[in-house]
Structure 1
Amino acid sequence: MNGDPRPIGVFDSGMGGLTVLRALTARLPDEHFVYLGDTARLPYGTKSPDTVRAYALQATHLLLGEDVKMVVIACNTASSVGLEALQEGLAPVPVIGVIEPGARAGVAATRNKRIGVLATESTVKGGAYARAIHRLMADAEITQLPCQVFVALAEEGWADTRATTAAVEDYLEPLFARPDAPDTLVLGCTHFPVLAGAIQRHVGDTITLVDSAETTAAAVAETLANSTLQAGISGAPRTVRFFATDSPERFARIGAIFFGQDIDDGAVTLVDLKMA
């Protein structure tokens, strides 16, 4: 079957987007991928919208240089402030963010129409999740909670430590002490699934955690199916290439936690986005 063998480009401020790449590689076994982690400049969540948009443009410029056929913004902050600009600027290359798929999954999961969004400061301030959820469920009650420390914990690979437990308790105890507590939590940052175990233990099994990675992978698969961009079945082995803007060795070591499989540090290319 003939198709388009060019890779799909994926980028994030660091390693959190590897959770999205993990879902993509599982969902799309015949596709090739290029992943960029802007590890030198993370976290994006504390940066201004203009700065994040500038970083996102630099990241996509590098990916386009690798001849990608589609761009996946595997970063909630960049999706919240830069998706529309990138969709316009990169046309006709499709650009997919993680917020709309995450909102859709949250709406599908809730039973009491109360949804909590755990995200970075920038994503919360931008309000993109609230807008996306309300488009789908106008009467939803949404609580957005900035959990910036979660990003640093995830980037250290601290999925289950005393520091992680303490941070989860400090952030979430006030929310779940309220009578109008949500029954669904959207993990509104691709770093946060690494901490999902600690979060679930604190809130209990009656609270649904929503990770947008699987829903984003489904959106990418749908876009490919409705276009002429599918790779087709070539029989050639799948390739996944990695770029990082700082410390390829650390990217490979910690990134394996997010990606769910080993990453050879020799397979991670160091790049300077300002020179891309």
Structure 2
Amino acid sequence: MSGPIGVFDSGYGGLTVLRELVNRLPGYDYLYLGDNARSPYGNRSFETVYEYTLQCVRWFFDQGCPLVILACNTASAKALRSIQQKDLPQLAPDRRVLGVIRPTTELIGTFSRTGSVGILATNGTVASGSYPVEINRFFPDLKVYQEACPMWVPLVENGEYNSAGADFFIRKNLDNLLSKGSDIDTVLLACTHYPLLRDKIQAALPEGIQLLSQGQIVAESLADYLQRHPEIEERCRRGNDRRFYTTDSPEDFDNHATAFFGEAVRSERCQL
């Protein structure tokens, strides 16, 4: 039995990933869930993020999704491994849950000439240590510097991403990051909200430092995954249908979502 590809985020940020998935893999059905009623996840404990994420994964499975993408760095960092190893074998051994950290860390070293990269992320993602650990598996000689940016998600979610306040916090965090590693030549936006700040971040970075977003990398990785796993791909329904759900107000979700997804969104509220 086939079903849509599930895409999950604690809020709106995963829509930047969904946009790239639709661009790269059109034709599939997609089901998006934003847990806006309980966002942001970035400052919550490992246990809470795991509990919330597992609850949402169960919801996707109830909707018939054979594959769920955690388009949320915090959920990928704090919950994915436990769900894959502990829960999936009992809950749904024939289904898959993937994250956004692994695809990025498999490639990031190929972008750097100096061997030094910077990671901009939420407190939760930085505290998890997931990026340095995963990057070390593929590029053991790569130097990784992290900077937590706790104000960036609230700025984006409150529509302040073009404000002077955004400029202030972007410059502050970038100064902090670059002071940790003077030879950083590649910076990763390790939160799916941050692409809305991309132009300001790029303008504030010194010339010659390249800025990476996750969406296109994750989309290419998923295309490769589906090619390598036809048993999953053949269960991903093709009808070019996209549905959006939120755990909070659909009106608020729709008003914010357009900036992330790039086109108008009509969502429904769901009860977990």
TM-score (norm 1): 0.91
SS class of match (2:65): coil
From 31, 36, 39, give the equivalent of 1:39. 36
1:76, 1:98 within 8 Å by CA — same for their partners in 2?
Answer: yes
Q: Give yes or no for the alignment of 1:80 onto 2:80.
A: no
Which residue does the alignment assign to 2:208?
206
Q: Give yes or no for the alignment of 1:230 onto 2:233.
A: yes
Which residue does the alignment assign to 2:245?
243
2:3, 2:236 within 8 Å by CA — same for their partners in 1?
Answer: no
1:117-196 paired onto structure 2 within 5 Å: 117-177=119-179, 180-196=182-198
Inter-partner Cα distance in structure 2 for 1:18 and 1:148: 20
5+ residue gaps, structure 2 = none
1:160, 1:197 within 8 Å by CA — same for their partners in 2?
Answer: no
Mark the CA change 1:153 to 1:181 in structure 2 (over 3 Å): closer, same or farther: farther
Inter-partner Cα distance in structure 2 for 1:207 and 1:269: 41
Inter-partner Cα distance in structure 1 for 2:50 and 2:123: 15
TM-score (norm 2): 0.92
State the aligned residue count.
266
5+ residue gaps, structure 1 = none
Superposition CA RMSD, Å: 1.9
2:10, 2:34 within 8 Å by CA — same for their partners in 1?
Answer: yes
Which residue does the alignment assign to 1:272?
271
SS class of match (1:148): coil
Q: Give yes or no for the alignment of 1:104 onto 2:103.
A: no
Mark the CA change 1:85 to 1:232 in structure 2 (over 3 Å): closer, same or farther: closer
After superposition, what is the alpha-carbon deviation per residue over 1:77-99, rounded to whole angstroms, capped at 9, x for unaligned?
A: 11011111222323321211000
SS class of match (2:198): helix
1:8, 1:71 within 8 Å by CA — same for their partners in 2?
Answer: yes
Q: Give yes or no for the alignment of 1:63 onto 2:66.
A: no
Using the TM superposition, give the Cα deviation of residue 237 of structure 1 relative to its aligned residue in structure 2, in angstroms. 4.6
1:187, 1:209 within 8 Å by CA — same for their partners in 2?
Answer: yes
Using the TM superposition, give the Cα deviation of residue 59 of structure 1 relative to its aligned residue in structure 2, in angstroms. 0.6
Q: Give yes or no for the alignment of 1:216 onto 2:218.
A: yes
SS class of match (1:261): coil
Inter-partner Cα distance in structure 1 for 2:199 and 2:2: 37
- Percent of residue pairs bearing the same amino acid type: 36
